[in-house]
Amino acid sequence: MKKRVVIIGAGHGGVQAASTLREDGFEGEIVLISDESDAPYQKPPLSKGYLQGKQTAQAILFRSANYYNDNEIDLQLGVRVNHIYTQENQIELSDGSKLDYDYLIVATGACNRKLLFHGKIAEKIYYLRNFTDAKVIEEKINPARHIVIIGGGFIGLELAALAIEKEKKVTVIETEDRLMKRVLPEALSKVFYDTHKAHGVEMLLGVSVVDVIDGKTIKLNDGKTLETDLVLAGIGVIVETELTENSDISFDDGIVVNGFQQSNIPNVYAIGDCANHYNPFAKKSLRLESVQNAVDQAKVAASHIMGKPIEYNTVPWFWTNQYHLKLQMAGISFGFEEAIIRQSPKPDRFSVYYFRKEKLIAVDSLNRPADHLNARKLLAAGISPTKQQVEDFDFKLNSLLID
């Protein structure tokens, strides 16, 4: 009897899992279910090339239209999975029908955290998570003159940069006292702050929004009020609990998985944004929200199903593009003890090397793609330069990679 793998979610993780299974010779059925009606596409370009008008909808698709048929991947679009019955090895679909599985891969990602005022989700605030959101935002941005963006994180700031390119007046409101504080050191926050300011963004830091009325009037905790045409927000994501609620799948801010992406139910795997895993680079359990993580965890789950297990142990990496600034992050800087800046003679080009107990744990590179690639190799090989080598711009760090 042929086995059936059902994959819930056709984002970065889900599509990769289906492809890897086929590439690795899986001969059974693959059912790839997406609650979105659009053919599977990449998410990072939504807040970059797509909304900038530089990439078309077609250009951001993962695969050509016939890929799924050609590879016998049963792609079901516009279908939501409502429940998982682990005892019966069955899922329930939005039309009430049931589908059996031998292996289940949950790749459902995360969804936007919404702003609540007076105990209610505020209306007429637009968030970006999927292609439908992008189309709505595209329509709203074009006629707007003044756009307020709540949240000075990656997505909020990418939206600010592209709205500036569209010659809009832009205000960013951030509760913290600096941009991207959760993930970046002060030196990098400052470059992004200075660049956004230089492009004309009004930055309100250390300020919270206490109410948004009719998507037009924004009340701040310092008593001030802003009037605007459009409110966008990027204030983080959460993993929906709906799918695993009332099931016996362990959940703790995400589906809890082992190093092979298996949940506590051995034939139920979770990958990508929705998977809470022990990360050997962070040395703790967490969820990562990145393409790298979704893609690499998909390969791990597929390899386990194919009986050739490889444990998840890849260097985390991420990127953001804003104006001429391209920031690439390798490793996880959480818990660092010392951060050393390796400054290139050119402006806005440097890398920050993070050390814990004399060991390199992460590198953030600003407009230094070669540093980023070397960092990924150094971290993967567990090779640590000394702090003196990092400080010495003439020392070639990639020489450490040569045997």
Ligand X SMILES: Cc1cc2nc3c(=O)[nH]c(=O)nc-3n(C[C@H](O)[C@H](O)[C@H](O)COP(=O)(O)OP(=O)(O)OC[C@H]3O[C@@H](n4cnc5c(N)ncnc54)[C@H](O)[C@@H]3O)c2cc1C
Binding site for ligand X (CB under 6 A): 8-14, 33-36, 43-44, 46-47, 80-81, 107-109, 128-130, 155, 243, 272-274, 289-292, 294, 318-320
From residue 141, alpha-carbon distances to 204, 349, 381 in Å are 21, 31, 45
Residue 12 or 196: which CB sits closer to ligand X?
A: 12
H/E segment holding residue 303 = helix 291-305
CB of 388 to ligand X, least distance (A): 32
Residues paired with 350 in a beta bridge: 343, 366
Instruction: Tell me the closest approach of the beta carbon of residue 315 to ligand X, in angstroms.
Output: 13
What minimum distance in Å lies between the beta carbon of 248 and ligand X?
18
Write down the least CB distance from residue 398 to ligand X, Å: 24
By C-beta, is 104 or 361 nearer to ligand X?
104
HSE of 335, CA atoms in CB hemisphere, 13 A: 12
In this complex, which beta carbon is closest to ligand X, that of residue 68 or of residue 355?
68
For residue 302, the one-letter residue type is: A
In the 3-class helix/strand/coil scheme, how is 85-153 assigned residue by residue?
ECCCCEEEECCCCEEECCEEEECCCCEECCCEECCEECCCCEECCCHHHHHHHHHHHCCCCEEEEECCC
The nearer residue to ligand X, 51 or 201, going by C-beta atoms, is 51
Residues 6 or more apart in contact with residue 360 via CB below 8 angstroms = 331, 353, 354, 375, 378, 379, 383, 384, 385
Among residues 261 and 384, whose Cβ is nearest to ligand X?
261
374: three-class secondary structure by DSSP: helix
State the nearest-atom distance from the C-beta of 12 to ligand X, in Å: 4
User: Taking a C-beta distance cutoff of 8 angstroms, is the pair 274, 106 a contact?
Assistant: yes
- Identify which of 330, 335, 295 has the alpha carbon closest to the alpha carbon of residue 312: 295
Q: Which CB atom, from 128 or from 141, has the smaller least distance to ligand X?
A: 128
Using CB atoms, what's the residue nearest to ligand X? Answer: 11
Shortest Cβ 100–ligand X spacing (Å) = 17
Structural tokens at position 357: 């107990």
